[in-house]
Amino acid sequence: MYVPSYWYHETDEIPADFAFIDTGGLFAGANAAAADDPPSPTPGQAAADKPPTVSLSTEPAPGASAAVPPDKVVLTIGDEKITAAEFDKMLERIPPQYRAQMRTPQGRRNFAENIIRLKVMAEEGRKRKLEDDPVFKEQLEQQKEQLLAQSMYKDLVSTVKVDPETARKYYDEHRSEYEQLKAVHILIRVKGSPVPLKAGHKELTEEEALAKAKEIRSKLVGGADFATVAKAESDDAASAAKGGDLGTFGHGRMVPEFEKAAFSMKVGEISEPVKSQFGYHIIKVEERQDKTFEEARPDIDRKLNGEAVNKAMSDMTASAKVVMDEDFFGKPMPPKPSLLPPQAKPATK
């Protein structure tokens, strides 16, 4: 479904802080290297100039080692031997966004070459006693904390779950949020609207736009085909091309004036002109859908589980008795606005 972005506002139901930890972690840079073919070296640049990166990651590539016994050594680096099973375990740590690249023979080879570079460089670092460097030790401790925090976060996500009774109660209290409409509309632009003016058309005053909208509604009530009229008259170019079709949407997705009118209408009814900052809308609701609890459950779980994880993290922070010196860090920022405002504001471009 496409809805014109200049008067449609899409909200994100997952709390912004839900994924505050970068699960790519330590090997984020290497993951990028594994995901894309490296650029060809410039003249005079040796292949060895590439930094030793490696991507440790998620799901074994189908058929990657299906015909190879798990205990067969598939990679030898100095005295270290890596079996097919061990290599697959490394692949299992790849973040989801990089899995597809590892499903090809070339992807597996690139991954193995990254491992070789990593192992070779690490062993050389040991020989040079770089492990004793104070900066290295400090970075190692920071990375250990990062990995431990990631593991704790994953543990929270897997264990903090909202029970079915709480989910049901939320659904009952927010049932209207799971109403959806399928609607079409015709927009008559007014002067000053953020909607682009059609080439060759003149600016319409409020009075002129309202008069035109009323005239068009009369034609529709009289039996004119909505899609045909929308294609000819609507100033919303994107939906006009589809006969005014806006697809299916729920609460909080359209500008307030449009939403209020649309959700108060009966199926098949044609609205009086509805004024918004974009002009006058003539709306026809074609379908009304109410998600059942079972249909809404995945969305409810994502929202409530995310809030539960955030609360658990906030509780841990509070119990840690954190004190920040305001002279050094400045005063706390004001609270962020809600991700889900009661009425979504249109995004204008």
Per-residue pLDDT 10s for the chain (349 aa) are 323 333 333 333 333 333 333 333 323 333 443 344 433 333 333 333 443 333 333 334 444 445 789 999 999 999 999 999 999 888 888 887 887 787 788 888 999 999 999 999 999 999 999 999 999 999 999 999 999 999 999 999 999 999 999 999 999 999 888 899 999 999 999 999 999 999 889 999 999 999 999 999 999 999 999 999 999 999 999 999 999 999 999 888 899 999 999 999 999 999 999 999 999 999 999 999 888 999 999 999 999 999 999 999 999 999 998 899 999 999 988 865 543 333 333 333 3
Residue 334 pLDDT = 81
**Is the CB of residue 213 less than 8 Å from the CB of residue 270?**
no
- The helix or strand, by DSSP H or E, that contains position 256, with its residue range, turns out to be helix 256-263
Q: Which CATH class is domain 178-290?
A: alpha beta
Q: Whole-angstrom distance between the N-terminal and C-terminal Cα of the chain?
A: 20
pLDDT tens digits for 279-297?
A: 999 999 999 988 899 999 9
Residue 176 pLDDT = 83
What does the block give as tokens for 228?
């045909």
CATH 3.10.50.40 domain span(s) along the chain? 178-290
Q: What are phi and psi of 258, to 5 degrees?
A: -65, -45
Establish how many alpha carbons lie within 13 A of residue 178's alpha carbon, considering only the half-sphere containing its beta carbon: 18
How far apart CA 92 and CA 102 sit, in angstroms, is: 10
Residues ≥6 apart with Cβ < 8 Å to 2: 238, 247
**Is the CB of residue 109 less than 8 Å from the CB of residue 77?**
no
Sign of CA dihedral 198, 202, 208, 212: negative
